[in-house]
Structure 1
Amino acid sequence: MPSANPLISDRFVDFLLYDVLDAPSLAALPAFADHERETFDLWLGACRRLAREVLFPTYRAMDEAPPRLEGGQVRVHPAMRAIWKELAELGVIASTRPASVGGQQLPLTVSTLASAYLMAGNLSAYGYAGLTTGAAHLIEAFGDAWTKQTFMAPLYEGRWTGTMTLTEPQAGSSLADVQTRATRTDQGHFLLRGAKIFISGGDHDVTENVVHLVLARIDGAPPGTKGISLFAVPKRRREGDAWVDNDVSISGVIHKIGWKGLPSVALALGDRNDCHGWLIGTENSGLRCMFQMMNEARLMVGVNATATASVAYHESLAYARERTQGRPLGVVDATTPPVPLVEHADVRRMLLRQKAIVEGALCLLATSAKYADLAEHATDPSLRERSRLLLDLLTPMAKSFPAEYGFESNALAVQIHGGYGYSSEYLPESWLRDQKLNSIHEGTTGIQSLDLLGRKVVAGGGAAIMTWREEILADCARADEAGVDRARTQSVRDALERVVALTGALGARGMKGDVNGMLAHSADYLQLASILAIAWMWTRMSAAIAGRDEAFARGIERAAMYWIATEVPRIEVLARLCESAEPSYVGLDPADL
């Protein structure tokens, strides 16, 4: 039976696709010519059904019975095999890929929102598919004919799963310190030897094989990131008519705070000097190739974080409407019946904040996905370049905002449930645990902040942020024309100009060699830029809903009002910290801690 929790609002998703983003316009591009609104709705409907009827009912069981290591093999919850079959048969893995590789060539804009339902239903179960899509797409983009035939096809078909295998115990996020070695052979493959850790989906008993995309150094390669190559390393390899162990062993299973249905493992490669790997791309270009999968994964984590916040928001909203407790302010007669929690102003504050975070983040992810569609498929070269600039700029925000603010949103869901919220008999505590991983997955928030301020906003002489400025100003003008409160759009304009000026000042510091002065408060910069990005999203949504008088429209209007009134003023405080390079932690002697 379908769950009472909608996971994500269908009405809101339809509003985003058709009123805010005009998704049917993408069908005018040659790449999407076989699609129209009807096919978009069919795909959304199929994913909604799968999420509500199959994935969500298995979430608790998978959370309570995490993977275990038995005899060198990781065993996962048995429900995952049935789930995987449905995901593969529906075509989730290759939904956005061309028909030539077995895909449906759906716009990422549509696929992103459809996948959000699957993530909200059971994020761990979807994780297998998301990682496999990324691995197969990487081989599609950079593999030769043999590696595509050998590895890509089984991945897209769902017969195998894939991973991204970057992190090493001694290196963490510092990929310049990768030590895994690759030795040439005269048989067309390399022999790999090394250790990897925190590899999501790195082993399981769901499919017959797992393909690891491994970063390693070919013997004699230069140090640092310039000496890293990329290899396809299967768990099992074919020798003649037989499948044999490829010397990829599991040295441990990580016991995680959340995402418990998706195994995270430590891998040992080549303990018997028999781990075969095949080069993907050219030698020493591994990190450049891997950035494709990393950037896709960052957006996937952002969607996952939004979906995790969304399912908890809808759970707390339903609870607040049903649970009676206390009486309104000013009512002192104890004989009057208690009222639903939602009747209390402070509960409405928490619910509205959740709504503003969840729906603002989902709009940001869908907008980023549309820029990705246009960057790859637009027929106008200038539009492709403009969209690429905006996608690159927004990616750190689209990854980090839903993770950081989503954690706060999940905490509010726990708070609304009161004592029940922190008990494992209710689901909000498990979603709170799941959410915490998203600020760490695929580059921590600190790494994203350095990427945004140290690279994205200053690249090309600030071309990206000036393009972003044009987009925001254009949307503010459209909101004015639609009748949105001009005081609100002016607040967004003022905040925009403050951010642009701040960016110029910080960039000038960096150009003068004061890198610390530029980047010391990069986390604050990422936060203020994200606040602006969400204010921009709410401005776009306000323009699209203006003039309607119904509960849905009033909810959009209130969330927009709330975000711009309560969060946008914080941009000034954060900007002052960035400008002043406030020294409390910058100049802190670690010995003083």
Structure 2
Amino acid sequence: MPNTRPNPLLSDRDIAFHLFEELDAESLTRLPAFSAHSREGFELFLDSCRRFAREQLFPLYRPMDAEPPVLRDGRVRVHPRMGDLWRGMTELGLINAMRPEAVGGQGLPVTVFTLATAYLMAGNLSAYGYVGLTAGAAHLIETFGDAALKDALMRPMYEGRWTGTMALTEPQAGSSLADVRTTATPAADGTYRIRGSKIFISGGDQDFAENTVHLTLARIDGAPAGTKGISLFAVPARRLGPDGQLVPNDVHVAGVIHKIGWRGLPSLALNYGEEGDCHGWLVGAAGRGLPQMFQMMNEARLMVGMNACASASAAYHEALAYAQERTQGRPLTSRDPSSAPVPLVAHADVRRMLLRQKAIVEGSLSLLGYTALQGDLSHHADSEDARARASLLLDLLTPVAKTFPSEKGFEANALSVQVHGGYGYTSEYMPEAWLRDQKLNTIHEGTSGIQSLDLLGRKAVAGGGEALRLYGEEVARTVERARAAGVEGALCDALAAATDGLLSLTMEVAGRGLAGDVDGMLRHSSHYLDLFSTHAIAWRWLEQAAVAEEALRRGAGATDAAFYEGKRRAAAYWLRTELPRCAPLAQLIRSNEDSYAAMPVEAF
């Protein structure tokens, strides 16, 4: 039978390492925006999140996975304990923790919040999904809405009385937002009458909060085709009636999508305006819906990246514990069949799988923590140049930070199943559920293919490659730090050479686009994203190795020495075994090999 021991979900020591040693989050308190905070306050928030994750969220993960939401009498009914979790997360102040006190928030740095919520996502990603979506929807109204809209819709969401969603996708359009057909007709009262259908709307209805507000993309009557004709509307499932009571707003759940993972968070098909009485409120300027929505989309992409990292982390710690306690087989050198079996972790191939999981999880945490830090600096750094630099780096790395944890996290989860052997593919053990969850992360908020087009087609070449130049400077700074710290010179040399190769390859491929061959430029965008991601994780691992070497030089106790040795080994593993993949990927991209582009459809 499965072991009932608790799963730590993430390593507390590793989270502290990323936050305070690698990213130096305490230094953020020197900025005016965070001057009221302290390291002690950050640690209290971390502790509150990890305890809630382990004691409340994780015990309900399997029940919520086994009893997904259902549609009954036109309303979605979620797991009966979800309401308790929602109230607990609201009491922790999670919905507006990063927002200023003016809107009831704590003004926490994104860096601290991101690493803290990794626990919540690892504990129960479906339950946390309601928080992330509500926070993003309310933040949109905070940024672009007028005072009346903030008072009417934003505040109930930040207070946890209402939830929020992002409603972009339509049945006929999928990810092609230029083909959105939902319409908005101006009404005499200053609102709009919304009519259309949306699909795959996560958290689109529930029965634990009073209301749900859908941040919806639609076209005002007469708007031009394409993305420039799209506007953003706040459409509550229930609106305030003349007597101040909530009344139905002609938003109807057309169906619940049955998913392989994230089963505790409903994914819905919604119909607006079946009765011609769906009221929507314009958010921001007409025709600016998509640029405005990108604020929430980019936040959601990073949230998906952390969800992927957290799912991989929970599965890794489950595999590690299982490999340490499960005995099976004997050393290859043992010739005595009567000798005691050894733990799985004694076998070299099991250690290989565990080390790969560790490298993926902790490399992802480092990258997501770094992007979160750029989010803080892009708004609050003490100079305009520093803010602009951070903004460019954040934009460049967002598709990488979303995709790498999702794609490689799926591999890590599969390795967790493999470590468990025959027990791994049974529903009595945890890894198969996390594997199901993980697959959705490669699709949520833009597939990996879409992220690759964004990275190569926009971010890497924007402004003549300025963001990429800044990225190269950041990597060079890490290489210099690692050399000074005493990291093996060959590892430093390898990353420096790979950086030169990445920069020159990008400019070469961008030249195809400038010459008019856009198809040729983007033909291998998926391979480019793979290459860039592999390089970015190598960079973050070299940074971790440098921090570890510096700590060891200062002297460390036995426990910390083992921890830092783990960092050194994992860094060497990634730089020696994964970074070399960049060279053949670059050769493939340069060759512009066109087998799938030239493949006739009928030949498939």
**TM bucket, shorter chain:** over 0.9
Aligned match of 1:341 in 344, 357, 364? 344
Residue 124 of structure 2: which of 97, 122, 125 is its match?
Answer: 122
Is 1:546 the equivalent of 2:557? no
Q: Secondary structure at the match of 2:76?
A: strand
* Residue in 1 that maps onto 2:471: 468
1:4 deviates by 2.1
The answer to whether the Cα contact below 8 Å between 1:130 and 1:300 also exists between their aligned partners in 2 is yes
Partner of 1:209: 211
Specify the SS of the correspondent of 1:569: helix
**What is the CA deviation profile of residues 161-207 of structure 1, one whole-angstrom value per residue up to 9, with x for unaligned ones?**
00000000000000000000000011011000000000000011010
- The residue that corresponds to 1:357 in the other structure is 360
Q: How does 1:274-353 map to 2 (within 5 A)?
A: 274-353=277-356
Residue 137 of structure 1: aligned partner: 139
Query: 1:98 aligns to what?
Result: 100
Distance 2:502 2:168 in 1: 34
CA distance in 2, matches of 1:419, 1:344: 17
Root-mean-square deviation over aligned CA pairs: 0.8
1:590 counterpart residue number = 601
Deviation at 1:332, TM superposition (A): 2.2
Tell me the distance in 2 between the aligned counterparts of 1:183 and 1:269. Answer: 12
Matched, 1:83 2:117: no
Provide the rounded CA distance (Å) in 1 between the counterparts of 2:598 and 2:5: 52
Matches of 2:285 and 2:399, distance apart in 1 = 27
The aligned runs of 1:4-19 (5 Å cut-off) are 4-19=6-21
Match for residue 384 of structure 2 among 358, 375, 381: 381
SS of structure 1 residue aligned to 2:163: strand
How many residue pairs get matched?
592
1:502 has 2:505 as partner: yes
Question: How much does 1:472 deviate?
Answer: 0.3
CA distance in 2: counterparts of 1:245 and 1:494, whole angstroms: 61
User: What residue is the counterpart of 2:221 in the other structure?
Assistant: 219
Match of 2:580 in 1: 569
Match for residue 439 of structure 2? 436
* Rounded Cα–Cα distance in structure 1 between residues aligned with 2:208 and 2:450: 33
Where does residue 558 of structure 1 map in the other structure? 569
2:160 matched residue in structure 1: 158
Query: What is the aligned counterpart of 1:257 among 241, 246, 260?
Result: 260
Instruction: Provide the residue aligned with 1:451 in structure 2.
Output: 454
**2:447 is matched by which residue type in structure 1?**
T
For 1:113, which of 91, 99, 115 is the aligned residue? 115
Unmatched 5+ stretches in structure 1: none
In 2, the alpha carbon distance for the partners of 1:466 and 1:569 equals: 22
> Distance between the aligned counterparts of 2:221 and 2:155, measured in 1?
30
- Give the TM-score normalised by structure 2: 0.97
Equivalent AA in structure 2 for residue 47 of structure 1? C
2:182 aligned residue: 180
**Separation in 2 of the partners of 1:574 and 1:71?**
53
Instruction: Name the structure 2 match of 1:232.
Output: 234
| Within-5 A mapping of 1:382-421 | 382-421=385-424
- Give CA-to-partner distance per residue, 1:44-84, whole Å, 9 cap, x none: 00000000000000000000000000010000001100000
1:252-273 Cα distance to aligned partner (Å, 9 max, x none): 0000010000000000000000
Specify the SS of the correspondent of 2:595: coil
| Alpha-carbon distance in 1 for matches of 2:430, 2:188 | 55
**Mapping 1:483-522, distance limit 5 Å:** 483-522=486-525
The alignment partner of 1:193 has SS state of: strand
Q: Which amino acid aligns with 2:400?
A: M
Work out the CA distance in 2 between the residues paired with 1:17 and 1:237: 42
Structure 1 residue 390: Cα displacement: 0.5
Aligned to 2:526: 523
Give secondary structure in 2 for the equivalent of 1:196: strand
Deviations 1:498-546 (A, max 9, x none): 1101001001111000111110000000010000100000011011110
User: For each residue in 1:338-367, what CA deviation from the matched residue of structure 2 results, as whole angstroms up to 9, or x when unmatched?
Assistant: 000000000000000000000000000000
- Aligned residue for 2:322, secondary structure, equals helix
Q: Which residue of 2 aligns with 1:55?
A: 57
Deviation, 1:404, is 0.1
Structure 2's unaligned 5+ residue stretches are none
C-alpha separation between the residues in 2 aligned to 1:213 and 1:57?
A: 32
- Determine if contact 1:3/1:52 at 8 Å carries over to the other structure: no
Report the Cα distance in structure 2 between the residues aligned to 1:592 and 1:465, rounded to whole angstroms.
Answer: 39
After TM superposition, give the deviation of residue 239 of structure 1 in Å.
1.1
- Partners in 1 of 2:368 and 2:483 — Cα distance? 24
Q: Runs of at least 4 residues of structure 1 off by over 2 A? A: none
Post-superposition Cα deviations, 1:14-60, rounded to whole Å, max 9, x if no partner, equal 01111111101100111101101000000000000000000000000
Question: Distance in 1 between the 2:221 and 2:594 partners?
Answer: 44
Q: Give the drift of 1:3.
A: 6.5
